[in-house]
Amino acid sequence: MKQNRITLAVASVLSLVVLAMLFVFQVRTTEVAVVTTFGRISRTVGPGPHFRLPLIQGVHKFDKRIQVHRSAFEQVYTSDQQVMLVAVYVGWNIDDAVTVLNRFSGDREEAIQKASHNLEGMIRNAYSGVIGRHPFSHFVSTDAKQLQFVEIEQEIQARLQAECRSITNGLNIAFLGIERMGLPESVTKEVFKNMESERERLVTAITSDGERQASIIREKANFESAKILAEADAAATRIQGEADKQAQESYAVFEQAPVLAIFLNKLKTLELLLQSRATLILDDTTSPIDVMKQLKPDEEKK
Amino acid sequence: MSDEPEHKHPPAPAPEISDDAGSQALSDALKRSYAIVKVVMAGLVVLFLFSGFFTVGQHQKAIILRFGTPVGEGKLYGPGAHWAFPPPIDEVIKIPVAQAQSVESSIGWYATTAAAEAAKQEPPPTESLNPARDGYLLTADENIIHARATLRFRIAEPGLRFALDFINATNAVRHAFNNSLLYAAARYKVDDALTHDQAGFRETALARLERLIAEQGLGIVVEQIENVQLIPPRQLKDAFARVGEAELRRGKEINDARSYENQTISKARAEAEARKNASEAERTRLVEFVAADVERFTNNLPSWRANRMLFMQQRQSETLRIIYTNAQETILAPRGAPGRQNWIEINREPPRPKVLERPERPKDDHH
């Protein structure tokens, strides 16, 4: 009896598993699935386990994650008739699985491949149409106001999205950006020539700028230096004036006896004048030599 | 015939016995097989349950999809051991959230290979750039530069966007990175991008990338943009080098002028200070000098007032004494008779040089 019960339990579990495998299918969180009954679309289902009738109903699962498609690097004309090369990248995903199934394929890989191929032409139309309305300076410019890089990307994306809606291909454009910008090969050669002459012009400009700046600095230095010295001279003259004023104030004392003052001054000057290494030539009338002369007759008398 | 009754008994028991033995053996064998199958089944069940264990690495987080839907609304399982139902019930997705990842830009460099670059055997530059082979960026002043860089990033927590929203998220990040370099170049002049403001270029690219990450929902955090290389086209290497040299020369010339400026102004300042100091000293000297004169005058005034003649005589004599004492030479020239002239020769001898030549002493001979 016990053995029978175990056998029964195992059998039921196995039957359940088999039945589940037959009647239930699961859709991953990154997927979306379309259920068809006798080949006709019945419903779309999201992530989780779902019921189906085996043999009668078919399930087509699609990857709804974003994938990035990069366009070819191709020539386009700007509104000012300049030729440039542009490649864009587009992040897209399956928005409407039923449309994708009807339009492209029921096989997930094949559907993605065909959708991607379908987008390729649409992307090219969208960006060449938008770029044709903008001058080259909207892509690269030294004037930030001219630049419309981001706006152009948004325009292309809006146009592509609108086109996807208009032809109802079931695809959503998540984002779009410019991946590369370039010039035709022959133009790059011309750019190099321009760049080279620009470099030569820069060398000349830099050299003369260096000389000019250096000369300005030197002249400024000379001017500053002269100014400093002139100010110092002015200060020195002021000091001198102050000194003279102070001296004049002291000289007032001498007015008590100008004769004495002049006499003392003369003595001092004389002393300073004949301070050292002087050779004096005196005649016998000079004081005190004159004393000698005065003494002579007395000595003779003796 | 006595054996007949014996022959009435069916002779079957022997084969019957062998049949029972066979059944028994079969039954035993089946029982044994059944036991083995049971053990194997139990083993398989255990194995099935144990196969649900999984380990999340140190730099990882994991989410469990049960029948395709995230368990606990995308609950994250941190590092360590966890259990989930084995497939097809549960699916474990490990996301390397804390692990630094990197992508390299792929649009701005000329055609080369890492091996050729390492061996310094790159193909020589061609006259022009072939768009199919060579990558480059257009600058704001419509020039061409080459650029490449590496983006280091981490998957932003919870990491579900990066792991679940993209078929190839790393590729999407690379496209955004390329776009940000293109965007930065389009608004930078060639000289700013290459020399004067490389940091600004990098900042602009980074800001653009951050914006794209948010807008496109890439679910990453930028750690840094590194190994940024911005170079002029190889075709114009010499021309750019000449500009660099001119800039160096300009720098040197300006530096020379600046040092001249410093020297000249310092010299002028020193000279100005000296002149002012000299003037100050002169003032002090004059004031002291006058003060001394005043003092002398004031001291002598009473004596002078007492007897002017005597005072003057005394002072005169004192001064003459000093003068005569200090004089190097005194010549007394008595006044001659009228018509007779005295001639005195001054500076009779030229001054002798102070350095005296020493006669060379003959070397001592100690023989």
Model confidence band, residue B351 (pLDDT cutoffs 50, 70, 90):
low
Model confidence band, residue B356 (pLDDT cutoffs 50, 70, 90):
low
Model confidence band, residue B6 (pLDDT cutoffs 50, 70, 90):
very low
Nearest CB partner across the interface for A279, out of B276, B291, B346? B346
d(CA A257, CA A169): 127
At A30, give phi and psi (nearest 5°). Answer: -90, 5
d(CA B37, CA B322): 147
> Measured in whole angstroms, how far is the alpha carbon of residue A88 from the centre of its chain?
24
Task: Please name each of the domains of chain A with its CATH number.
Answer: 2-63 (no CATH), 67-189 (3.30.479.30), 259-297 (no CATH)
At B98, give phi and psi (nearest 5°). Answer: -90, 0
Percentage, residues of chain B above pLDDT 70: 86
Cβ-contact B209, B172 below 8 angstroms: no
d(CA A70, CA A67): 10
- Bin A136: left if φ > 0, else alpha if -120 < ψ < 50, else beta: alpha
* Residue B319: predicted pLDDT: 87
- By C-alpha distance, the chain A residue nearest B126 is A189
d(CA B310, CA B317): 11
- By C-alpha distance, the chain B residue nearest A50 is B67
Please list the residues that pair with B231 across neighbouring strands. Answer: B146
For residue range B98-125, what is the model confidence (pLDDT) as tens digits? 889 999 999 999 988 888 888 888 888 8
**Chain A nearest CA to B122, separation (Å):** 20
| Interface mutation target, options A154, A213, A282, chain B, most CBs of B under 10 Å | A282
- By C-alpha distance, the chain A residue nearest B31 is A3
| Interface mutation target, options A7, A280, A286, A287, chain B, most CBs of B under 10 Å | A280
User: What does the angle CA A258 – CA A264 – CA A268 come to, to the nearest 5 degrees?
Assistant: 145
For residue range B57-66, what is the model confidence (pLDDT) as tens digits? 988 899 999 9
At B205, give phi and psi (nearest 5°). Answer: -60, -40
User: What b/e sequence results for A214-237 when a residue is b if at least 16 CB atoms lie within 10 Å of its CB, and e otherwise?
Assistant: beebbeebeeebeebbeebeeebe
Q: Flag whether pLDDT at B358 surpasses 60.
A: no
Cis omega before residue B15 (within 30°)? no
* Residue B340: predicted pLDDT: 67
* Residue B138: predicted pLDDT: 95
**Chain A nearest CA to B111, separation (Å):** 14
d(CA B344, CA A252): 45
Q: Flag whether pLDDT at B348 surpasses 60.
A: no
Predicted TM-score (pTM) of this structure: 0.71
> Measured in whole angstroms, how far is the alpha carbon of residue B203 from the centre of its chain?
15
Compute the residue count for chain A.
302
DSSP B168: S
Q: Residue A242 and residue B283: Cβ atoms within 8 Å?
A: yes
* Residue A207: predicted pLDDT: 94
**Which distant-in-sequence residues (6+ apart) come within 8 Å of B29 by Cβ?**
none
DSSP B235: G
Nearest CB partner across the interface for A217, out of B128, B261, B317? B261
Q: Flag whether pLDDT at B325 surpasses 90.
A: no
Q: Flag whether pLDDT at B365 surpasses 80.
A: no
Q: Are strands B80-83 and B90-95 parallel, antiparallel or unpaired?
A: unpaired
**Max Cα-Cα span within chain A:** 190
d(CA A73, CA A67): 19
Neighbours of A212 (CB within 10 A): 13
**Which distant-in-sequence residues (6+ apart) come within 8 Å of A257 by Cβ?**
B297, B301, B304, B305
Pick the CATH number of B101-112+132-232 from 3.30.479.30, 3.40.50.2000, 3.40.50.300, 3.40.190.10: 3.30.479.30
Token pair in block for residue B366: 């100690």
CA torsion sign, A263 to A268 to A269 to A273?
Answer: positive
Alpha helix ranges (H) inside B224-328: 237-306, 308-326
* Residue B213: predicted pLDDT: 95
**Which residues in chain B have their CB less than 8 angstroms from residue A200's CB?**
239, 242
The low-confidence residues of chain A, meaning pLDDT below 50, are 299-302
d(CA B231, CA A111): 43
**Chain A nearest CA to B4, separation (Å):** 49
Strands (E), B80-138: 80-83, 90-95, 101-104, 137-138
DSSP B200: H
Helix axes A258-273, B308-326, angle to 10 degrees: 10
Token pair in block for residue A243: 């000194």
What would the 3-class secondary structure string for chain A be? CHHHHHHHHHHHHHHHHHHHHHHEEEECCCEEEEEEECCEEEEEECCEEEECCCCCEEEEEEECCEEEEECCCEEEECCCCCEEEEEEEEEEEECCHHHHHHHCCCCHHHHHHHHHHHHHHHHHHHHHHHHCCCCHHHCCCCCCCCCCHHHHHHHHHHHHHHHHHHCCCCEEEEEEEEEEEECCHHHHHHHHHHHHHHHHHHHHHHHHHHHHHHHHHHHHHHHHHHHHHHHHHHHHHHHHHHHHHHHHHHHHHHHHCHHHHHHHHHHHHHHHHCCCCCEEEECCCCCCHHHHHHHHHHHHHC
| CB-defined contacts A:B, below 8 A | 327
Q: Residue A235 and residue B344: Cβ atoms within 8 Å?
A: no
* Residue B337: predicted pLDDT: 63
Q: Flag whether pLDDT at B51 surpasses 80.
A: yes
Nearest CB partner across the interface for A48, out of B69, B175, B264? B69
Element (H, E) at B151: strand B144-155
Model confidence band, residue B367 (pLDDT cutoffs 50, 70, 90):
very low
d(CA B140, CA B183): 10
- By C-alpha distance, the chain A residue nearest B144 is A191
Q: Residue B236 and residue A178: Cβ atoms within 8 Å?
A: no
Nearest CB partner across the interface for B164, out of A30, A185, A284? A30
**Chain A nearest CA to B347, separation (Å):** 10
> Can you tell me whether residue B90 is helix, strand or coil?
strand
> Can you tell me whether residue B228 is helix, strand or coil?
strand
For residue range B211-223, what is the model confidence (pLDDT) as tens digits? 999 999 999 999 9
Cβ-contact B150, B102 below 8 angstroms: yes
**Which residues in chain B have their CB less than 8 angstroms from residue A141's CB?**
140, 186-187
For residue range B156-190, what is the model confidence (pLDDT) as tens digits? 878 888 888 999 999 999 999 999 999 999 999 99
Q: Tokens 């490449």, residue? A: B148
Q: Are strands A74-77 and A57-63 parallel, antiparallel or unpaired?
A: unpaired
Cβ-contact B137, B144 below 8 angstroms: yes
Q: Flag whether pLDDT at B357 surpasses 80.
A: no
Model confidence band, residue B3 (pLDDT cutoffs 50, 70, 90):
very low
Q: Flag whether pLDDT at B243 surpasses 80.
A: yes
Q: Residue A26 and residue B140: Cβ atoms within 8 Å?
A: no
* Residue A286: predicted pLDDT: 75
ipTM of the complex: 0.75
* Residue B366: predicted pLDDT: 45
For residue range B268-303, what is the model confidence (pLDDT) as tens digits? 999 999 999 999 999 999 888 888 888 989 999 999
**Which residues in chain A have their CB less than 8 angstroms from residue B331's CB?**
279-282
* Residue B363: predicted pLDDT: 47
* Residue B5: predicted pLDDT: 42
**Chain A nearest CA to B115, separation (Å):** 25
* Residue A4: predicted pLDDT: 78
* Residue B353: predicted pLDDT: 59
The structural domains of chain B, with segments of one domain joined by +, span 18-50, 53-95, 101-112+132-232, 257-318
